[in-house]
Amino acid sequence: MSKPITITIPHKLGAAEARRRIESGFAQLASQIPGGSADQVQQTWNGDTLTFSAVAMGQTISGTLDVLGDLVKLDIVLPGMLGMIAGKIRDQLQKRGQLLLENK
């Protein structure tokens, strides 16, 4: 059974800088998922929306990431066993995403 999760990460970077950081760090962010690997990430941009899939623990995770002027919204569908640890995955992605988008 799949489990959808939504993560919103506020930022003060503006959409262009947030997208630049996401483009350069998304594969690393995806590798934070337990059993994930940066080389098993597919991503396609359409405007400021990223559609992606990643393989973790032998299962395919899919989702979208929308970059807005003051926040990033990440919608992910976690299949099977990964849905059982959705809270842990959400917390890790939230923390890593905030680090990626913090003002530097």
CA dist., res. 80 & res. 88, Å (int)? 15
Q: Where are the beta strands (DSSP E) in 20-58?
A: 36-46, 49-56
Give per-residue pLDDT as tens, 52-103: 988 877 888 899 999 999 999 999 999 888 888 888 888 988 998 899 998 7
**DSSP three-state, residue 61:** strand
* Among the listed residues 3, 5, 16, the one whose alpha carbon sits nearest the alpha carbon of residue 70: 16
The encoded tokens of residue 34 equal: 């337990």
Amino acid at 52: F
Count of domains for the chain = 1
Give per-residue pLDDT as tens, 15-58: 999 999 998 887 666 666 556 555 678 899 999 999 998 887 78
DSSP bridge pairs for 19: none
Beta pairing, strands 49-56 & 36-46: antiparallel
Determine the structural domain holding residue 47 and report its residue range: 3-101
Q: Which CATH number belongs to the domain containing residue 63 in this structure?
A: 3.30.530.20
Q: What is the pTM of this model?
A: 0.83
